[in-house]
Amino acid sequence: MKKSYSKYSAKDDLFWLILRPWIFIPRVLYILLTFIFLFLRILFQGNSKNKNVQKNLSKYLFDVITDLGPCFIKLGQALSTRPDLVRQDWLTELTKLQDNLPAFDHKIALKIIEEELGSPANELFEEFPDSPIASASLGQVYKAKKNNSYMAVKVQRPNLYFLIRRDVVILRFLGTFLSPLLPLNIGVGIGEIIDEFGKALFDEIDYQKEAKNALRFANLFKENPNIFIPKLEKQFSSKRVITTSWIEGVKLRDRALLEENNLIPSSFIKTCVISGLQQLFEFGYFHADPHPGNMFALKGGNADCGNLAYVDFGMMDTITNSDRLTLIKAIVHIINEEYYLLAEDFQKLGFLTKGQDLQKLVEPLKEVLGGSFGAEVGNFNLKNVTDKFSKLMYSYPFRVPSRFALIIRAVVSQEGLALRLDPEFKILKIAYPYIAKKLLTDNSEEILDILLEVVFDKKGQIQVEKVESLLNILFRDSENINSDLIPVANAGLKLFVSKKGSEVRKNLLLSLIKDEKLEFTDAKKLLALIRDTFSPLNIARSAVQNIISTV
């Protein structure tokens, strides 16, 4: 009989577990004692310089997380992507949490396949191995063969629904009970964050939902030559078994592994980050679990953008159109160092309450984010900002909206993955030019409104210095000039002469009038900036480079 799963409900699931004290009480005590022993061991051995001590400690940490089960493994996977937070010797062990966990009994896997798909594995496939090729938190993967093609058959771990339901309830109970004692000030009940985590996990164990996610994700990237999504094999997929085409690639685990396979690490970082930005700022639908076990570097591509494959679409999330546009505005306001407007963005997103005096936050925000794309950009990464924000949140009423829990997890995991491949990686060096290009080439009404806010102030006057800042961010290096100059010039010209460009033309004309007189100073500066940026020589170079890149 096939298993049917309910949706996550904090209230109903808590009631379910409280009615089973023989399960609830021993499990709570076991988790508490396990973490107490782990904390004591880290306290006494964490700073030891003895390599054997650290090796044994990292193994103990892996064993503890593995023993506690799927919920804790998921948390450990997020930690395993952060080389800036975790010691390298511990990180090496924690990386095993991604796809190198102890496998469950092969006979049980075969039984699940037969129950779910209606026939034994050896009848469904021409070849089916005696052991899995990878084993992760929620299932294990077999490399099977059908019609002379290899397939990845993922089989869910047994009893998973019960284990996750039990432990999410306990995590929520412990988190809510212990949050006043924890060194956290996230401004919102930690229970709400765990609720988001619980909903995502319940969705992740429904492989039919994962199949729909994979199809949707593949459709979003169908025009992108650098992103590959394995083909879903519907006839061999169900609620606890999912089968896709096999991906032959190298996991984005470490730089040396890529270089051994003659792959350029930086090219995959760029593809990874740009595709992540597209998910967040264009599609509003994103992969919430981008750890190295779920991403493969493929042959092909070029030195600038490598070919990248995504797998495992169980943990996905959406962002509303309103939040998406507000985030774009927030990045523009950081670029322009407009901290009051940035505080307004935080308020709209729910990080600040409606009654908060935003003027009081201008200087603190400037202290945290000031110079993020100026002289200090070389030192900018999410950890630096997080460290500063953690101090800020104790003094000011910032809160973390629960709907941003998976977004933050995805962005932090992705930056951590990039840092594994390049310790000097700075996410803003890719994110800022991406946002600048989007503003200058996207012809949607919403993006046009944001662009008008950059070009014109509230009085309708041209803000030449902000336009210059935007162009500098996009064209400050020769690579961007070569790849982006012509698309930006074309988009700008099309916008200016189009029906949508009427607002731009009107504002430009109004900006020429000051004190009832014609004033051409700012217009001349803007024309000079455009002339210098889009000079015939630059356009020619761009055209030649584009021709070379397509040959």
Catalytic residues: 289
Closest CA to 492 of 511, 465, 514, 474: 474
Answer left, alpha or beta for residue 155, where phi above 0 means left and psi between -120 and 50 means alpha: beta
- Residue 462's beta-bridge partner residues? 456
- Phi, psi (deg, nearest 5) at residue 338: -100, 85
Burial (CB count within 10 angstroms: exposed 0-12, middle 13-18, buried 19+), residue 56: middle
Residue type, 79: L
Rg, Å, the chain Cα set: 26
Distance of alpha carbon 91 from the chain centroid = 20
Three-class secondary structure of residue 206 per DSSP: coil
Distance CA 194, CA 476 (A): 42
What separation in angstroms does the CA of 112 have from each of 108, 141, 158, 240, 483? 6, 13, 8, 8, 50
Q: Which two tokens stand for residue 472?
A: 């500098």
Residue type, 255: R
What separation in angstroms does the CA of 478 have from each of 157, 265, 468, 481, 483? 50, 20, 17, 5, 9
What string of DSSP letters covers 305-371? S-EEEE---SSEEE--HHHHHHHHHHHHHHHTT-HHHHHHHHHHHTSS-TT--GGGGHHHHHHHHTT
Residue type, 182: L
Is residue 463 within 8 Å of residue 513, measured between CB atoms?
Answer: no
DSSP 8-state secondary structure symbol assigned to residue 232 = B
Distance CA 82, CA 28 (A): 28
**Angle, CA 290 vertex, CA 288 and CA 295 arms, to 5°:** 140
Closest CA to 64 of 87, 41, 88, 83: 41
- Phi, psi (deg, nearest 5) at residue 188: -145, 150
Distance CA 397, CA 187 (A): 7
Is residue 255 within 8 Å of residue 421, measured between CB atoms?
Answer: yes
Number of H helices, E strands in the chain: 24, 12
Distance CA 15, CA 165 (A): 11
Q: Are strands 250-251 and 227-228 parallel, antiparallel or unpaired?
A: unpaired
